[in-house]
């Protein structure tokens, strides 16, 4: 099985509820009909009141959704790719390797107890990451996997962490991207409060900044607040 992630860019003034309705009501059924499984939808909709820690700057077509799913072989899944690519002004798909680094209830919070398709509690941030150009790919992965992932678990109140490492683009013209990180948080209030976002200790913020500034290309880092809908 292989996993694909579509990064969906849409106009800032597109109504969030309308975008959610299109993705959940049209795209998801088409994906299932095309044989996709394990569909996950993240969408910046009317149920999210903050932009996220590092939103897209003005003048950049914003990322408004991310759609991921599994297929037996991505090169034989044209119908699924086309179904997921049907939404947005720009829609870039990537083949990824998924690491479910921590699941709901595994380290913090309660295990998932809500049904497929229902909005997940709290808030999710979806981050698009690029390798710091000063690092070679191997050193970057060692820092990301061996330091950033476990360190961030210690210094932030994260409930779930899905690390998607990009293998290569799938749709024509998709720009280079190294990873898509999905993190679940207890609430908007926690994400909006810099101290609460680092377990009440601003020393943790210093540790975090040291790591992300070393591992990632900061001018291109985007971290966006979204609603989440999961299907098993």
| Structural domains of the chain sorted by starting position, each given as residue range(s) with its CATH number in brackets | 2-230 (3.30.70.100)
The C-alpha R_g of the chain, in whole angstroms, comes to 17
- pLDDT value of residue 229: 98
CA count, 13 A, side-chain hemisphere, 24: 20
Query: In terms of Cα–Cα distance, which of 102, 68, 46, 6 is closest to 225?
Result: 46
How far, in Å, CA of 72 to CA of 167, rounded?
16
Per DSSP, 55 falls in state P
CB 197 within 8 Å of CB 97: no
CB 42 within 8 Å of CB 66: yes
- pLDDT value of residue 145: 97
Low-confidence ranges of the chain (pLDDT < 50): none
Other beta carbons within 10 angstroms of residue 222's beta carbon come to 20
How far, in Å, CA of 115 to CA of 100, rounded?
19
- pLDDT value of residue 37: 98
Threshold 0.85, pTM exceeds: yes
Query: In terms of Cα–Cα distance, which of 159, 167, 141 is closest to 3?
Result: 167
- pLDDT value of residue 200: 96
CB 74 within 8 Å of CB 169: no
- pLDDT value of residue 146: 97
Provide long-range contacts, Cβ within 8 A and 24+ apart, for 149-152.
149/101, 151/207, 151/208, 151/211, 152/208, 152/211
- pLDDT value of residue 121: 97
How far, in Å, CA of 90 to CA of 119, rounded?
24
- pLDDT value of residue 33: 97
Torsion of CA 24, 27, 30, 31, to 10 degrees: -90
Query: In terms of Cα–Cα distance, which of 184, 190, 191 is closest to 227?
Result: 184
- pLDDT value of residue 190: 97
């Amino acid at each position: 099985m292989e996993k694909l992630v579509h990064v969906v860019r849409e106009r800032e003034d597109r109504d969030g509820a309308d975008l959610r309705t299109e993705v959940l009501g049209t795209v998801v059924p088409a994906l299932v009909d095309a044989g996709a499984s394990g569909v996950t939808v993240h969408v910046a909709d009317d149920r999210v009141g903050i932009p996220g820690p590092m939103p897209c700057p003005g003048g950049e077509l914003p990322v408004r959704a991310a759609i991921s799913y599994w297929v037996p072989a991505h090169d034989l899944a044209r119908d699924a790719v086309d179904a997921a690519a049907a939404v947005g002004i720009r829609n870039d798909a990537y083949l990824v390797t998924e690491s479910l680094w921590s699941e709901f209830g595994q380290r913090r919070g309660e295990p998932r107890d809500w049904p497929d398709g229902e909005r997940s509690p709290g808030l999710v941030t979806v981050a698009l990451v690029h390798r710091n150009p000063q690092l070679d790919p191997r050193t970057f992965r060692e820092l990301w996997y061996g330091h950033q992932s476990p360190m961030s678990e210690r210094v932030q109140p994260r409930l779930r962490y899905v690390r998607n490492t990009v293998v290569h683009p799938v749709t024509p013209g998709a720009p280079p991207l190294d990873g898509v990180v999905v993190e679940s948080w207890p609430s908007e209030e926690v994400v909006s409060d810099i101290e609460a976002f680092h377990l009440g200790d601003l020393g943790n913020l210093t540790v975090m900044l040291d790591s992300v500034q070393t591992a990632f290309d900061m001018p291109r880092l985007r971290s966006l607040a979204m609603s989440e809908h999961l299907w098993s």
